[in-house]
Amino acid sequence: MSFELHPPREVIFGPGVFARAGEIAAGLGTRALVVTGASALREREGPNEGTAPGGSPLARLAAQLHASGVGVVRYLVRGEPTTAIADEGTRVALASRCDCVIGLGGGSVLDAAKAISGLMTNGGDALDYLEIVGKGRAIESSAAPFLAIPTTAGTGSEATKNAVLTEPRARVKVSMRSPLLLPAVALVDPELTFSLPAPLTASTGLDALTQLLEAAISTRANPMTDLFALDGIARSARALGRALRDPHDAAAREDLALASLQGGLALANAGLGAVHGIAAPLGGRHPVPHGVACAVLLPAVFETNLRALRERDPGGPGLARVTRASEILVSSWRDADGAAADETDGDAPDAAAALLHRLVASCRLPGLASFGVGRADVPPLAEASLRASSMRGNPIALTAPEIETAIATAL
């Protein structure tokens, strides 16, 4: 047995911990580049209190930083981050003499902020450090101190060592990746997710579940990552439906926020699989939000993996891992939502596949065709997916035709 574990330097989790952001930031620097997106501009709604005093998370953060004597330079990220956004943000940070970075938002914001923090201290452009399409240069210097504050519960980027960026010219999403990019502090407050609209709760929640499942069945999974992945699967399964029915269900929001954090910790150390392998070129070629891509691909890819394992490696560790993860998913879902007996009885992996189809369908997310993905796009997407780094963690090597079938099912 051999593995490495790279967590953030410090994780602070719990309802209300956002109130500590100012004091934490003051320990990281004196002038912060505050990277935000649209989610940080929402008014926070508590479970029983309506709109919370102080307005949006960004307004509340700015007030805290002012009170703590930390200067603020704002940088807005619209949509998913590109190499150009990371490069521009770095120029703003350096020109403004920022000495730390705060990311307040969803996964796109945190990835952009993480990339900027690394570029601030290592020099050059994002393409110098990108894998696959860039120069792949090693990050040698510790990133500028980075405080990650997620306002969604999906990517777990607050706990990962990679920053996912789109390179438009190559039409693909790829990563800057190094333990030196890990946030100095991950500050996770479930209350910041209360005002997430239902579609975003669904897509981010399913993204987190995808990451947990893929980390649990990865070829690089180990006992430490299993602690995060398997508990996170149970939390996702019991909480997502409840949060969609009642956005102010504090216990469900807490479970989803913790599951997202656990997903980040698990994937950062165990890797991912075919869903994210497909999502990388898909997101680079078509305007499909990452969470939606993962959500609609998950049931078909899960079934594809299950079929391939049964046919080509029935006695191997991959199928055993799929079975264990499926048992946890099915039992937790049944306990929380009372799933129909015909969908949860019998073989656990088959029951899990049925439940994933049911869950994704209930969220009413648009298929890939809604974003312009057509049948002619499927073969080149499958070929590009085979080159994605996430594919290395898949429990079995899939063929191009198998990947094509999975993508076509998600259209």
Integer Cα distance of 362 and 340 in angstroms? 14
pLDDT value at position 44? 54
Q: Residues 321, 217: contact at Cβ < 8 Å?
A: yes
pLDDT value at position 51? 38
Domain layout of the chain by residue ranges = 10-191, 196-409
pLDDT value at position 337? 66
pLDDT value at position 342? 47
Q: Residues 282, 368: contact at Cβ < 8 Å?
A: yes
The answer to whether the Cα torsion of 201, 207, 210, 216 is positive or negative is negative
Class of 10-191 per CATH? alpha beta
Integer Cα distance of 297 and 336 in angstroms? 24
CATH superfamily of 196-409: Dehydroquinate synthase-like - alpha domain (1.20.1090.10)
Average pLDDT over residues 136-147: 96
**pLDDT tens, position by position, 251-310:** 999 999 999 999 999 999 999 999 999 999 999 999 999 999 999 999 999 999 999 999
Q: Is the pLDDT of residue 47 over 70?
A: no
Nearest to 306 by CA among 273, 268, 342: 273
Kindly report the number of other CB atoms within 10 A of residue 1's CB atom: 4
This prediction has a pTM of 0.92
Confidence of residue 170 (pLDDT cuts 50, 70, 90): confident
**pLDDT tens, position by position, 311-344:** 999 999 999 999 999 999 999 988 776 554 445 4
Q: Residues 176, 126: contact at Cβ < 8 Å?
A: yes
Instruction: Give the C-alpha distances (Å, rounded to integers) separating 251 from 45, 52, 193, 231, 334.
Output: 15, 18, 12, 15, 18
pLDDT value at position 45? 52
Average pLDDT over residues 131-154: 93
Nearest to 23 by CA among 106, 147, 189: 147
Q: Which residues contact 120 (CB under 8 A, 6 or more apart)?
A: 90, 93, 94, 98, 101, 143, 144
Whole-number average pLDDT of the chain: 92
Kindly calculate the radius of gyration of the chain based on its CA atoms and give it in whole angstroms: 20
Nearest to 156 by CA among 111, 218, 217, 191: 111
pLDDT value at position 148? 98
**3 state SS of 62:** helix
Integer Cα distance of 411 and 404 in angstroms? 11
